[in-house]
Chain A
Amino acid sequence: MSFNWTPEELQEIVDNNPIVLFMKGTPEQPRCGFSNRAAMVLGQLEDKWASVDVTSDPRAIPSICAWSDFPTMPQIYVNGELIGGSDIAMEMYESGELQKMILESNSE
């Protein structure tokens, strides 16, 4: 089965995983400082999260950016909703908003 980065396939990823990080590289081997920061922020959480390496396929970044209407990587999704990049994730983690958002989504 091949993965083609279609809007339907991307939507399925964020629908099936409460927290998703689209990043350059992997949490163990990030290929971009901002992706690393996003992974480190999510690593502070107690919840499980999924990561997708957007450097694994040249079609990934243009497809994801067109689908989400967000021009940069990384991108973080909570409960299917884009919260933003690593700057917003960091900001929301520091203010406690991110934890609150995840807690609320867990109890739904």
Chain B
Amino acid sequence: MVTEAWMVSEVLKVVPDAIIEASDLHGSGDHFHVRVTSKSYDGVRPLQRQKPILNHFKPYISQNIVHALDLKCMTPEQAASTLDTAFDPHSEKKTEFFGVHIRRESKE
């Protein structure tokens, strides 16, 4: 079990200039939605944005410390026009793509 703050600090190691928000989707410390906003994502394809982060988390994912990692890697322009909702994989509402409201502890 890990915390939102730990997730943020780990992602920061990979994308040092990023604004990062981690949401523990169920309070279980293993399903996370993480949004990462960085200028460095300009002109980078979605998979290439995620790859360095996923590679960093590989040992935690393979040991099932982090069971689910839903990533949203955005440029500052994309972040400005993106809603504050995240997908909840265990939501009852199967027809809804989105479910959980992002908790914002500190607004940058």
Contact = CB atoms under 8 A, between A and B. Distances in A.
A72 B46 contact: no
Interface in B50-86: 50, 54-55, 57-58, 61-62, 68-72
Interface stretch (A13-21, A46-54, A82-90): A82-90
Contact of A33 (B55, B61, B62, B91): B91
B interface, over-half SS: mixed
**Interface size bracket, B side:** 20 to 34
Contacts of B104: none
Given A72-B61, A72-B68, A72-B69, A88 B90 contact: no
A90 B50 CA distance: 14
A83 B97 contact: no
A71 interface: yes
Contacts of B46: 83-84, 88, 91-92
**Interface size bracket, A side:** 10 to 19
A50 B54 CA distance: 25
Contacts of A85: 70
B72 A87 contact: yes
Contacts of B54: 70-72
A33 B72 contact: no
Nearest to B33: A87
Contacts of B47: 82-84, 88
B103 to A, nearest CB: 18
B88 interface: yes
Contacts of B50: 84, 87-88
Given A71-B58, A71-B61, A34 B97 contact: no
Contact of A90 (B58, B87, B90, B91): B87
A91 B87 contact: no
B90 A33 contact: yes
Contact of B88 (A33, A72, A92): A33
Interface of B: 46-47, 50, 54-55, 57-58, 61-62, 68-72, 87-91, 94, 97
Interface of A: 32-34, 36-37, 40, 70-72, 82-88, 90-92
